Structure 1
């Protein structure tokens, strides 16, 4: 793996960008020609969504189109279940022997929820919808691959010694936080030197982006709490140990005291999103189950709150007489953007959209994103791609009315490809200096 320099200045040299200008012109030409097809692709995917772990037809569609363009692609399949993803490699031009391998990742899966939009490309699959923009992400990455393949077949004015090595990762099961780890286990990150990603943001209009240096998302731990008491008649609670009363006390205690456990300047949030228990209005049940999430932006706060959660559960157990069992499941690390790669995203976005449309994000999101799994294997960064439709009220992610301004697809592809090109050129230039 090549060394990723953090550099004193976040800016890339004008010499590098000057050398890349022919690439930029060709990219913009190819993506302009591809735009109508990319919109058709996005609408096809939007109308035919597949939920997490079931992206079979989506993977076939991606593989067929990318192979038609002459890109070497293969479908990764799980031995258990229907999980599939696509990995595609493309070498453009004649990269140097020390040229890095730059990966770009998108997610394929849809959500189990209705699509209530009144548009011709609304979901045709009952109870499944692309309400998080993964159809747009897939279209962005397909556009990037198709554009680079077209350039590869007709290099034109590009210098003979110019070149770049790219890998395109089409990941399943992001919504369940299983897909990235599984795709990595299939060899998706072997020999990768840097990884790029994006997520649409309906709170930003198309033609704008958000760039974050450092932590972009939160650590996310799933919480499962099981409370076991003794059931009985609602008229005689003194003969029972009521798990519903214990659960109510537990939730209110968590919400009251966890925020006062850590410095208020440390971002953290706990939410109980599901409570299950009971059979009838006149029966005290034996058991109640609760589930939720703990979200933090630094490991120290995470450790403190996990310990405090256990203390509160133990306290409720002692005061109520019920047995309280706490488990943490599916921990997901925060996405922490690498400074040099983030700088490449920022400069690339500024060249595509203008610096006035490239916003630096001040605070991390408390959402989770399994792009962090790739960052255990290579440095990388993820940006927020504006997709909001100007002049209309935003429809938020995971809304049954969610839609995008489809111009965002071309913007995303232009930014990612420029970022890959400047990173590749920068890494090769630094390697040449070190060997001189």
Structure 2
């Protein structure tokens, strides 16, 4: 950050503090009016308005509801900064003065903060460009739909890459707020950081009948118990114990009455992995585990729905990020992130250009932490 023609970390912090009220206002406005994936028209309009007021030309309706803008400085590299804009289908009960005004929709994952922070970064970077202190080009990516996919199975990150938003980018950076780190601390790591997330459906098919005459049936509920046991042994017995991976069955549905054995049972779940090899192994072993019902007279239909790939940080981009964070925050406030089983569609951008994803601490140390064992990670994970 420091050097000839640039500004120091101290000055950057002072400039950021000077626009604190604007950033807070943007965040609270977005929080009051949350929008679900690919419906972020109001949020995109706010973003577009702020960028135009800064004197930046914008491109709208990128990946349906996204916004892209450029801040042009010198002849140096082109660096992209990404923020996601969508909210979640959750009812807010916080009772703050800026609670969601939309029943059943809430910014529960911090994307309102991400968007406001990128608007703040745009403000500071435009100042530097106007002063001749921006050595390259910054591309601002306000992305829709990180939390969900459209009818074609595509998220906002995937669509932005497909539509060329990462073309010509030398590096891309993103972040996510993290309540497991205190304010003023950040964490990242080179290489795999967040997992791939695939979904699956297993339909166990038997032959139904009256519960009082089970001998005349092939009970898919009993068969499903064998499948569940087999699935839960994949990671412990088929996966190299030095390699991380998770298979979780999240739903099981079967039957309509207490005295009727159904024809079928449907289970759904998720597969998490960090490498292509483990991803393939877990999917193959899931198919084999479901096949245990065949020797018992039933059959299983397995469908795997590929999800986000793992988020893999480029070592050089990560080193650049950590060096900047140490200069800005101090050596002891930059930690190495643990591996996170949650997933992020920033992964598509990090495949299109060297990338780094950062965890930004937002926990207030004066407030009790979430109980031990609470879910860790972010987003659609």
TM-score normalised per structure 1: 0.80
Aligned counterpart for 1:68 among listed residues 50, 53, 60: 53
SS of residue in 2 equivalent to 1:104? strand
1:351-410 CA-partner distances (Å, limit 9, x unpaired): 11111111122x3111111111012211111011001111112359xx9xxxxxxxxxxx
- C-alpha displacement at 1:231, in angstroms? 2.3
Change (3 A) 1:39 1:292: same
Distance 2:364 2:268 in 1: 35
Question: Larger % of helix: which?
Answer: 1
- C-alpha displacement at 1:180, in angstroms? 0.7
Question: Is residue 124 of structure 2 the alignment partner of residue 139 of structure 1?
Answer: no
- C-alpha displacement at 1:257, in angstroms? 4.0
Change (3 A) 1:20 1:313: farther
Distance 1:257 1:382 in 2: 30
- C-alpha displacement at 1:306, in angstroms? 1.8
- C-alpha displacement at 1:264, in angstroms? 1.5
- C-alpha displacement at 1:138, in angstroms? 0.7
Question: Is residue 298 of structure 2 the alignment partner of residue 322 of structure 1?
Answer: yes
Structure 1, unmatched stretches of 5+, are 1-15, 400-436
SS of residue in 2 equivalent to 1:17? coil
| Cα pair 2:2 2:8 within 8 Å, conserved | no
Distance 1:309 1:359 in 2: 35
- C-alpha displacement at 1:20, in angstroms? 5.7
Distance 1:280 1:238 in 2: 18
Distance 1:248 1:117 in 2: 40
1:343 counterpart residue number: 319
Question: Is residue 355 of structure 2 the alignment partner of residue 380 of structure 1?
Answer: yes
Aligned counterpart for 1:365 among listed residues 332, 340, 350: 340
TM-score normalised per structure 2: 0.91
Distance 2:251 2:146 in 1: 21
1:242 counterpart residue number: 219
Distance 2:292 2:26 in 1: 55
Question: Is residue 201 of structure 2 the alignment partner of residue 221 of structure 1?
Answer: no
Aligned length: 367
| Cα pair 1:213 1:342 within 8 Å, conserved | yes
Question: Is residue 239 of structure 2 the alignment partner of residue 265 of structure 1?
Answer: no
Change (3 A) 1:75 1:317: farther
Question: Is residue 106 of structure 2 the alignment partner of residue 129 of structure 1?
Answer: yes
- C-alpha displacement at 1:262, in angstroms? 1.5
Question: Is residue 183 of structure 2 the alignment partner of residue 206 of structure 1?
Answer: yes
Which of 1 and 2 has higher RCO (CA within 8 Å, sep 6+)? 1
1:169 counterpart residue number: 141
| Cα pair 1:258 1:308 within 8 Å, conserved | no
Written as runs of structure 1 = structure 2, the 5 A alignment for 1:40-79 is 40-76=25-61
Aligned counterpart for 1:391 among listed residues 351, 366, 370: 366
Q: Which moved more, 1:387-396 or 1:273-282?
A: 387-396
Q: Which moved more, 1:240-249 or 1:365-374?
A: 240-249
CA RMSD of aligned residues (A): 2.0
2:2 counterpart residue number: 17
1:311 counterpart residue number: 288
- C-alpha displacement at 1:23, in angstroms? 6.1
Question: Is residue 89 of structure 2 the alignment partner of residue 112 of structure 1?
Answer: yes
Question: Is residue 277 of structure 2 the alignment partner of residue 296 of structure 1?
Answer: no
| Cα pair 2:2 2:9 within 8 Å, conserved | no
1:68-117 CA-partner distances (Å, limit 9, x unpaired): 11111121256xxxx4111111103xx12xx2211011111111112121
1:251 counterpart residue number: 228
| Cα pair 2:62 2:68 within 8 Å, conserved | no
| Cα pair 1:42 1:135 within 8 Å, conserved | yes
Distance 1:347 1:287 in 2: 56
SS of residue in 1 equivalent to 2:307? strand
- C-alpha displacement at 1:303, in angstroms? 2.1
Question: Is residue 61 of structure 2 the alignment partner of residue 84 of structure 1?
Answer: no
- C-alpha displacement at 1:324, in angstroms? 0.6
